[in-house]
Chain A
Amino acid sequence: MNKRRSRLDIIADMLTSIQDKGGKIKPTHLMYKANLSHNLLQSYLEELIHKNMVKEMDINNYKYLIITDKGLELVQNLKKMKDFQDTFGI
């Protein structure tokens, strides 16, 4: 059975999904990629936008979510933290 994702795991999955799509993604795609319900996605997005990790932008009449430099830095730090945790077995 898969372990339940923590809040930080979900944030990492969301930001990594945006990064993997070249830094911008449509909200619906993000919902599927990060495996979240609509309500959960909205709640996490509000937090990420409030903390300047992600910003919303209209491109050709479509709403896109763009990862910011701060968001990219967090992804980098979370990857390092995961490696640190795995290496030191904590």
Chain B
Amino acid sequence: MYQLGITPDWFQEIDTLFEAISILVTFFIGLTAYKFYKLTTEEKYKWFSVSFLLISLSYFFKILTNFFVYNEEQVRHTLEGYTYVVNYVHEYYYLEIFGTLAFRFLMLVGLFGLYYIITKSQDKKSIPLVLFLLFFTTIFSNVQYFAFHLTAALLLGLIVWQYYELCRQQKKTFTFCNPIVAFSILFVSQIIFSLLFLTPKVYVIAEIVQLFGFLLLLYNYVRLVWK
């Protein structure tokens, strides 16, 4: 069966709520960056905004796909004493695949965009190559799901590293007020996601850790914008 992950039944509605929170957090940050772009017309704000909005859109696709996967028809059959479960392939099957791939690709592109802006990179020639590799990784993750999570972890790790360098240069302390903590938690969540093959419980743990990372990002955002 094609699915996003091994989600325990009791967690199926809860994880959708978690993704909705992620959408809101990333959407608000993206919208604020866009407001600053309109004020200054500086490109960095535009691309920072686009990156966060892509991550927001990616979670929208994940919710959409969850909806189709969780409503998949399962019928139990008994034959010669053996019980087996049949998943009926319905007309939404291709939407599930499209939704999953869209979620993964948009998420990776969004994370790459953040990394590109934060490092203040000027190397525009390598962008098509990176986008192609991210697309290839997304397609490959259809076969080996952890390819997506490890690539997302790599990009988040690079973002954390860049924030660490910035903190070192500016002699800042690592408090909850710094996005390095939030991105580090998101990095850990992706590593946990990649261990899904161990037990379905891993999915629950990874989702909770990821939610915590997004809530910390929200805390950073609220401190900045509503003070």
- Which residues of A line the B interface, CB within 8 A? 8, 77-78, 80-81, 83-85, 87-90
Contact = CB atoms under 8 A, between A and B. Distances in A.
A82 to B, nearest CB: 10
Nearest to B166: A89
B166 to A, nearest CB: 5
B196 to A, nearest CB: 30
Interface residues of B, number: 20
A30 B35 CA distance: 29
Interface string B16-44: 00000000000000001101100110001
Contacts of B178: 87
A81 B48 contact: no
A78 B45 CA distance: 13
Contacts of B40: 8, 81
Nearest to B177: A87
Given A89-B118, A90-B117, A80 B225 contact: yes
Interface string B104-125: 0000000000000110000000
A88 B45 contact: no
A28 to B, nearest CB: 29
B224 interface: yes
B220 interface: yes
Contacts of A83: 224
Given A84-B32, A84-B36, A89 B224 contact: no
Given A89-B118, A90-B48, 6 more contacts: A8-B40, A84-B33, A84-B225, A87-B177, A89-B163, A90-B117
A84 to B, nearest CB: 5
Contacts of B99: none
B137 interface: no
List of 3 A-B pairs having minimum Cβ-Cβ separation, nearest first = A89-B166, A81-B36, A83-B224
A80 B35 CA distance: 11
Nearest to B44: A90
B183 to A, nearest CB: 10
A87 B220 contact: yes
Contacts of A87: 177-179, 220, 224
A80 B162 CA distance: 22
A8 B42 CA distance: 11
Contact of B39 (A81, A88, A90): A81
Contact of A77 (B39, B44, B48, B166): B39
A80 B224 contact: yes
A69 B43 CA distance: 28
Contacts of A90: 44-45, 48, 117-118
A77 B36 CA distance: 8
A89 B162 contact: yes
B156 to A, nearest CB: 14
